[in-house]
Amino acid sequence: MKPTINREIASKEIPVNSPSTRRKWLKKLYTQRHLQTMALLGVAWMIIFNYIPMYGVIIAFKEFDIIHTISEAPWVGLEHFREFLEDENLMNVIKNTLGISFIKLIIGFPLPIIFALFLNEIRSVRFKKFVQTISYLPHFLSWVVLGGILATWLADVGIINNILLWLHIIDQPITYLAEPSYFWTIIISSDLWKELGWSAIIYLAAISSVSPEMYEAATIDGAGRFQKMWYITLPSIKSTISILFILAISGVLNSNFDQILVLRNSLNDSASNVIDYYVYQTGIISGRYSYSAAVGLIKSVIALILLLVANKISKKINDTSLF
């Protein structure tokens, strides 16, 4: 015999702000108090160091100096933005920034994926750990240390020149960091060397979640290693690749300021003057805080636009997006 249902009671919805709902919410909050405390610390950190300082963005529309407060600084409107767009160094700065960033994106984005795919195919656990350790190590060296090592290697009497002279590839030593034509190659190759292994970690984590049964079924069907990588592994980590690609597109105007600052000099300035260094030079060295804030604001707005566009395209093509 089926139980009778009171349709009037069943049709009534429990109010969201009812005492019972609040009690359940408070009880759940209390049971998660340790996790909530950790989360609140992170939220507080973001508010203090990320959101409150955003008030200072208004100096981009003012003529600010260190003598007066932000509120006392006179308004100049879009004067700093106009001045930046009319700067004679603008085209060189944009060329260097986009050139370095796009080459890093084209070469540096797929390489960690390829490295992770081949590293996953290594059967010897000991050798696999050895390769992982060697590839991770450069990431933990700061660019101050790594820049000093590269400057020594690339000097007239450095190891690079000695090897090339010994192989008779060059006739006389080359001062690589003094030649603008070599700067992009040095920047891109050193960045790949430093971050390749570390960037592959997230792909290795995604690959580890792929079901082994899929590989077993492919083996039974006669698929080889490359076929498994192409038809099983890559499609399985497609969402991870899409998310990281969206973030990479949004950061295309970032040229790794630490690396540029350590390796640049007056001789390679024509190839090393990127937006990040331009902001540092005009804001910190020259003391033009409002002007550098305006340039930084332009960069942030463009980065936001790139993020939204890349996110929309990825959502339409792969049905994967950040939001």
Per-residue pLDDT of the chain (323 residues; tens, 9 = 90+): 444 444 444 444 445 566 778 888 888 888 888 888 888 998 999 999 989 988 989 999 999 988 888 888 999 999 999 999 999 989 999 999 999 999 999 999 999 999 999 998 888 889 988 998 899 899 999 999 999 999 999 998 889 999 999 998 988 999 999 999 999 999 999 999 999 999 999 999 999 888 888 888 888 888 888 888 988 999 999 999 999 999 999 888 888 899 999 999 989 999 999 999 999 998 888 889 999 999 999 999 999 999 999 999 888 888 888 88
pLDDT for 75 equals: 93
- Domains, the chain, with CATH or none: 14-61 (no CATH), 86-318 (1.10.3720.10)
Instruction: Give the torsion sign (CA, 104, 259, 154, 174).
Output: positive
Total Cβ atoms within 10 A of residue 160: 16
Nearest to 288 by CA among 83, 78, 64: 64
Total Cβ atoms within 10 A of residue 315: 15
Tokens of 197: 């292994």
- Going by the DSSP 8-state scheme, the letter that residue 73 receives in this structure is S
The contacts of residue 299 (CB under 8 Å, 6+ apart) are 253, 275, 279
pLDDT for 190 equals: 93
| Beta bridge partner(s), residue 75 | 62
Query: Please, what's the b/e burial string for 44-77 (b: 16 or more CB within 10 A of its CB; e: otherwise)?
Result: eeeeeeeeeeeeeebbbbbbbeeeeeeeebeebe
Tokens of 60: 């981009």
- State pLDDT tens for residues 284-314: 888 899 999 999 999 999 999 999 999 998 8
- State pLDDT tens for residues 145-187: 999 999 999 998 889 999 999 998 988 999 999 999 999 999 9
Q: Is 232 helix (H, G, I), strand (E, B) or coil?
A: helix
Taking the C-alpha atoms of residue 193 and residue 259, their distance in angstroms, rounded to an integer, is 13
Taking the C-alpha atoms of residue 125 and residue 267, their distance in angstroms, rounded to an integer, is 47
pLDDT for 5 equals: 42
pLDDT for 195 equals: 92
Phi, psi (deg, nearest 5) at residue 60: -65, -20
Instruction: Give the torsion sign (CA, 67, 70, 74, 76).
Output: positive
pLDDT for 17 equals: 61
